[in-house]
Structures are given as structure tokens and as C-alpha cells.
């Protein structure tokens, strides 16, 4: 069995992100194939992301043709002391 996925992200000025991906599942696991497109925006401590998932096969999924959003708040500077 062989399942693989591939994704890429392009960032512009550390504020905007554009993403694309592909998922290809083994025939033994269900043979699902999906494309995903997404975009994100970062401003200080707030991240806003959206993505769209659509099927590339005849296999139906509850997540097919869905538009998803997320809102993330980042607290702290993200730097940690090493032990």
C-alpha cells in the first residue's frame, strides 16, 4: 500500500500565504484523492486562514467541497530558552 501527499506554500512579505496540496490514498485504504487550496493572512498576533477541499476521484467524502476558516491568536514572541 502506498499513500502520498504533496503540498506547497508561497509567502509574501511574511503577511500573506497561498497554499496548494494534493492527497492520494492507497486503493486498500479507500482510494481517496483530493486537491486543496488555501490562503492566509498574518497581522501581529492574529492569523486568519481559509481552505477549500475538493475531490479528484469518484469517492465521496463529507469534507468534499467545503470551505474552512480558522482564526488563531499567538501569544508571546515564540522564542524559548534551550535547556
Domain extent, residue 51, equals 4-73
Is residue 10 situated within a structural domain?
yes
pLDDT in tens, 1-52: 889 999 999 999 989 999 999 999 888 888 889 999 999 999 988 999 999 9
pTM value > 0.85? no
If one counts the domains in the chain, the total is 1
CA dihedral 39, 43, 48, 52 (to 10 degrees): 0
Is residue 83 situated within a structural domain?
no
Is residue 79 situated within a structural domain?
no
Is residue 64 situated within a structural domain?
yes
Exposed e or buried b for every residue in 43-53, given b needs 16+ CB within 10 A?
eeeeeebebeb
CA distance linking residue 47 with residue 39, whole number of Å: 11
Amino acid at each position: 500500500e502506498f499513500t502520498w501527499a504533496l503540498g506547497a506554500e508561497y509567502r509574501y512579505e511574511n503577511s500573506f500565504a497561498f497554499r496548494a496540496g494534493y492527497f492520494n490514498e492507497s486503493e486498500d485504504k479507500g482510494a481517496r484523492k483530493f486537491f486543496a487550496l488555501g490562503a492566509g493572512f498574518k497581522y501581529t498576533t492574529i492569523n486568519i486562514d481559509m481552505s477549500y477541499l475538493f475531490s479528484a476521484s469518484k469517492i465521496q467524502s463529507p469534507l468534499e467541497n467545503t470551505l474552512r476558516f480558522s482564526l488563531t491568536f499567538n501569544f508571546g514572541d515564540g522564542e524559548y530558552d534551550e535547556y
